[in-house]
Amino acid sequence: MDKLQIVKIGGNVIKDQKALKVFLADFSEIKVAKILVHGGGKEATQMAEKLGVPVQLIEGRRITNLPNLEIISMLYAGKLNKTIVAQLQAFDCNALGLSGADGNSITAKKRSPEPIDFGFVGDVTAVNEVLFNTLLTQNITPVCCAITHDKKGQLLNTNADTIASEIAIAMSSHFEVTLSYCFEKKGVLMDEEDENSVIPTLTSEKYKTLKKEKKIHSGMLPKIHNCFEALKKGVTQVCIGNPKMITGKVNHTQIQL
C-alpha cells in the first residue's frame, strides 16, 4: 500500500511568516503523497479585534456567529489558504487550495445548539475520498482549510484538527497514513512550563492517567482525542510535535493505542 502523509499546521506557526516559509519548504520535500490541513484561529481573532467584532471562546472552541463566520471564511479559505498554496508552488510543490465546498471535498452538519450554541460550527459527516485520490494520483497536493459546508449552501467553521483526523481516517482504506499535528511545542509536555518535558510515547492508558491528574494542558485534550480516534479507525501512525518533526530529525510525541 502506498504511503500518505497528512500534516496539520496551526498555532503560532501560521502567524509567523518566516516560520511558515521554513515549514512549507520542509513540507514540499516530503517524497510520498501528502495533504496539508491548516487552521488560522489566532489570525482570525486578531482580524475580528481589528474590525471590532467580539470573539467568544468556550473551552478553546470559537462561538461562530455570522460576523465571525464571514471573517473566518475570508481568512481561512482566502488569504491564508492562497498564501500557503502560492508559497508551495514556489517550492515546486503543485498544490491546490480547498474549502470543504470545493469539489464537495468535506461535508458537515451544523452542530446542535444543545448544550452550547456554537453558531455556524460544523461536524464532519463525509470526506470525498474519490476527489482526494484523484488529486493525489495526479501529484497534486490538496491544501485544506478549516471550512466545510452542509450541502445546502451554508459554509461552516470546523475544527482543523478534526478535519485532518477525518481525512486521515477516510484515506486509510487507500493508503498507509501518517497523521502529523504540528504546532509550536516539541510535543505533548509533561510539564507545561518545561519545553523539554516531551512525552516520547503517549498510550491511551498513560493518557487516561495524566488526564485524571490534570497533567496535560486542557487545550491539548481535543487534539489528543482526535489522535486516538484516528488510530482506532485505521490510521497507521499519529505524531504531535513542532514543524521540524516532518523532517524526521527531531523528537516528538508518538501516539499509540
CA 101 – CA 231 distance, rounded (Å): 27
Q: For 145-199, how does the pLDDT look when each residue is reduced to its tens digit (9 = 90+)?
A: 999 999 999 999 999 999 999 999 999 999 999 999 998 889 998 888 888 889 9
Task: Enumerate helices (H) and strands (E) in the chain, giving the number of each.
Answer: 9, 14
Do 176 and 235 touch, CB atoms closer than 8 A?
A: no
Asked whether residue 141 carries a pLDDT value surpassing 80, the answer given is: yes
58, pLDDT greater than 90: no
17-32 pLDDT, tens digit per residue, is 999 999 999 999 999 9
Residue 249 CB coordination number (10 Å): 8
Residue labelled with grid coordinates 451554508: 154
Contact 196, 242 (CB under 8 A): no
Give me the pLDDT at residue 219, please: 76
Cell of 237: 501512525
Kindly report, residue by residue over 37-52, the tens digit of the pLDDT: 999 988 999 999 999 9
- Is 99's pLDDT higher than 90? yes
Range of the domain at 21: 3-256
Q: pLDDT category, 61, cuts 50, 70, 90? A: confident
Count: domains in the chain: 1
pLDDT digits (tens, 9 = 90+) for 240-249: 999 999 998 8
CA atoms within 13 A on the CB side of 113: 4
Average pLDDT over the chain, rounded to whole?
94
Mean pLDDT of 195-211: 91
Helices in the chain by DSSP H: which ranges?
A: 12-15, 17-28, 41-50, 66-72, 81-90, 129-137, 160-171, 204-212, 221-232
The reported pLDDT for the residue numbered 52 is 96
How far is residue 196's CA from residue 120's CA, in Å, rounded to a whole number? 38
Helix axes 129-137, 160-171, angle to 10 degrees: 80
pLDDT of 196 reads 87
- Of 58 and 135, more confident: 135
Indicate whether this model's pTM tops 0.85: yes
Report d(CA 7, CA 34) in Å as an integer.
8
Q: Cα dihedral angle (47, 52, 184, 163), rounded to 10 degrees?
A: -70
* Per-residue pLDDT, 220: 83
Please say if the pLDDT value at position 213 is more than 90: no
pLDDT above 90 as % of the chain: 79
CATH of the domain at 78: 3.40.1160.10
Q: Does residue 110 register a pLDDT over 90?
A: yes
Q: Which three cell numbers stand for residue 161?
A: 484538527
